[in-house]
Amino acid sequence: MSSIKNVELIKKANIYFNGNVTSRSFIDQDGSEKSLGIMMPGLYNFGTGKAELMEILSGEVEVKLEGENNWTLYEGDSEFSVRANSNFDIKVKTITDYCCSYLD
């Protein structure tokens, strides 16, 4: 899906890792929480509360989920899932545009 209609946008930006990762949160028309953002090249660790679906819209990242030993490559038009109450490491290889959906 290239566009999302009828959303409630949260104006305040989410800024992580000294501005290297930023996003804007919104609630779509069915009540689902999501965020759209940009990640600059680097290595980051994120913790989750809810399960997440991470869509890599453009760019290139390698991801290592909690409990795994191997890194998996994701490029534009790909996605990966993260369990609730866990964490993951992400190596951002190129500037990456992403959409994160928070799942119940």
Confidence (pLDDT) at 79:
98
Contact 54, 79 (CB under 8 A): yes
Domain count, the chain: 1
Chain segment 12-70, per-residue pLDDT in tens = 999 999 999 999 999 999 999 999 999 999 999 999 999 999 999 999 999 999 999 99
Interatomic CA distance for residues 82 and 33, integer angstroms: 15
Residue 60 placed within a domain: yes
Confidence (pLDDT) at 19:
98
Confidence (pLDDT) at 1:
60
Residue 82 placed within a domain: yes
Confidence (pLDDT) at 16:
97
Residue 2 placed within a domain: no
* More confident of the two residues 3 and 103: 103
CA atoms within 13 A on the CB side of 83: 8
CATH of the domain at 52: 2.60.120.10
Residue 1 placed within a domain: no
Confidence (pLDDT) at 5:
86
Interatomic CA distance for residues 17 and 10, integer angstroms: 20
Domain that holds residue 18: 8-103
Confidence (pLDDT) at 87:
96
